[in-house]
């Protein structure tokens, strides 16, 4: 039993209070990851344009590289819009009401970060795995984005359970 003078808020409201604090923190992580995606994307495009397979034949002319560029741009843009939507819901309704949006961006943006960094490293070849570019460091650290603050699987399960509430009556 906690002495009354040590109680910080309403009894039984701890989880909601914690969620209200975690939501904005997860938004912050996602915004940072989007910035890292943009850096990796810029580096990927610059490398694709400057690396020639033969004189006058830049890597950017290859369809696979073009697909990676297009997919990366689409994923980054989608991530940005999803984060803005979650932030708007937090502002308008509070973090607890935005729990599905927050969990969705947490796993989605973390996966986009992994995708974009992986493509950028591939375009750079062996150089991408050295510390001669920031990619290797970003690549090493991005993996933890899918684990800390709740593993992807936990957030996906939470999102699915919330979605299924209206179907499982």
CATH code for position 117: 1.20.140.10
Single pTM value for the model? 0.89
Burial class (CB within 10 angstroms; exposed 0-12, middle 13-18, buried 19+) of 124: buried
Q: The domain containing residue 83 runs over which residues?
A: 11-164
Dump pLDDT digits (tens) for 123-136.
999 999 999 999 99
Domains held by the chain: number:
1
Q: Are 51 and 78 in contact (CB under 8 A)?
A: no
Burial class (CB within 10 angstroms; exposed 0-12, middle 13-18, buried 19+) of 100: middle
Considering the domain boundaries, does residue 120 fall inside one? yes
Considering the domain boundaries, does residue 149 fall inside one? yes
- DSSP per-residue codes, 129-155: GSTTSTHHHHHHHHHHHTTTTS-HHHH
What span, in angstroms and rounded, lies between the C-alpha atoms of 115 and 69? Answer: 11
In a 3-state reduction of DSSP, which class is residue 10? coil
Dump pLDDT digits (tens) for 135-149.
999 999 999 999 988
Considering the domain boundaries, does residue 3 fall inside one? no
What's phi and psi for 54, nearest 5 deg? Answer: -155, 165
In a 3-state reduction of DSSP, which class is residue 30? helix
Q: Are 20 and 94 in contact (CB under 8 A)?
A: yes
Considering the domain boundaries, does residue 124 fall inside one? yes
Considering the domain boundaries, does residue 5 fall inside one? no
Nearest-CA neighbor of 65 among 119, 115, 113? 119
Considering the domain boundaries, does residue 132 fall inside one? yes
Considering the domain boundaries, does residue 80 fall inside one? yes
Considering the domain boundaries, does residue 2 fall inside one? no
Structure tokens at 74: 């689409």
What span, in angstroms and rounded, lies between the C-alpha atoms of 152 and 110? Answer: 8
Dump pLDDT digits (tens) for 45-97.
999 999 999 999 999 999 999 999 999 999 999 999 999 999 999 999 998 89
């Amino acid at each position: 039993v906690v002495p009354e003078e040590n109680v910080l808020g309403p009894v039984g409201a701890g989880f909601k209070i914690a969620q209200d604090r975690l939501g904005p923190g997860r938004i912050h992580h996602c915004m940072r990851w989007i910035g890292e995606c943009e850096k990796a994307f810029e580096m990927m495009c610059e490398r694709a344009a400057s690396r020639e397979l033969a004189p006058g034949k830049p890597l950017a002319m290859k369809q696979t590289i073009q697909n990676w560029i297009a997919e990366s741009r689409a994923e980054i843009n989608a991530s940005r819009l999803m984060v803005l939507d979650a932030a708007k819901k937090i502002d308008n309704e509070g973090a607890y009401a935005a729990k599905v949006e927050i969990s969705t961006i947490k796993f989605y943006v973390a996966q986009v970060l992994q995708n974009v960094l992986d493509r950028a490293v591939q375009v750079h070849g062996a150089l991408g795995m050295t510390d001669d570019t920031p990619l290797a460091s970003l690549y090493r650290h991005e993996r933890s984005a899918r684990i800390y603050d709740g593993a992807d699987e936990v957030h996906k399960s939470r999102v699915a359970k919330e979605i299924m509430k209206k179907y499982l009556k």
